[in-house]
Amino acid sequence: MGYRREVVLNNLKNSFPEKTDAEIKKIAQQYYSYLCDLFLETFKTLTISEKSMLRHCRLEPKSRELLDKLAQQNQSVILVMGHHGNWEWGGNTFSLECSQQLYVIYHPLSNPHFNRLIINMRTRFGTKLIPMNDTFREMVKNKNILNATAFIADQTPHPESAYWTQFLNQDTPVFRGTEKISGKLGLPVVYIHISRKKRGFYEMTAEMLIENPKETTDGEITEAFSRKLEEKIKAEPETWLWSHRRWKHKRPQLA
Summarised one tens digit per residue, pLDDT across range 173-223 is: 999 999 999 999 999 999 999 999 999 999 999 999 999 999 999 999 999
Query: How many other C-beta atoms are found inside a 10 Å radius of the C-beta of residue 111?
Result: 10
**125: DSSP letter:** T
Q: Are 146 and 99 in contact (CB under 8 A)?
A: yes
Tell me what pLDDT residue 254 has. 64
Q: Please count the other Cβ atoms lying within 10 Å of the Cβ belonging to residue 184.
A: 13
Q: Residue 77: which of 196, 211, 223, 200 has the closest Cα?
A: 211
**Which strand (E) or helix (H) includes residue 23?**
helix 21-44
Distance CA 249, CA 72 (A): 43
Please give the C-alpha separations between residue 207 and each of 63, 67, 142, 211, 224, in angstroms, as whole numbers.
7, 9, 23, 10, 12
**Nearest in space to 93 (alpha carbons), one of 58, 64, 66:** 58
pLDDT at 5: 95
Half-sphere exposure of 2 (CA within 13 A, CB side): 0
SS3 of residue 190 by DSSP: strand
8 A C-beta contact, residue 52 and residue 33: no
- How far, in Å, CA of 146 to CA of 137, rounded? 16
Of 154, 214, 206, 217, which is closest to residue 187 (Cα–Cα)?
214
As a whole number of angstroms, the distance between CA 137 and CA 50 comes to: 31
DSSP for 29-71, written as a single string: HHHHHHHHHHHHHHHHTTT--HHHHHHHEEEPHHHHHHHHHHH
Whole-model pTM?
0.95
Residue pair 167/155 in contact (Cβ under 8 Å)? The answer is: no
pLDDT at residue number 2? 76
Q: What is the mean pLDDT of each run of 10 residues along the chain (255 residues)?
A: 90 98 97 96 94 98 98 98 97 98 93 90 96 95 96 93 96 95 97 97 98 96 98 98 95 75
Closest CA to 81 of 71, 93, 73: 93
Rounded alpha-carbon distances, angstroms, from residue 112 to 108, 117, 176: 9, 9, 29
**What is the Cα Rg of the chain in Å?**
18
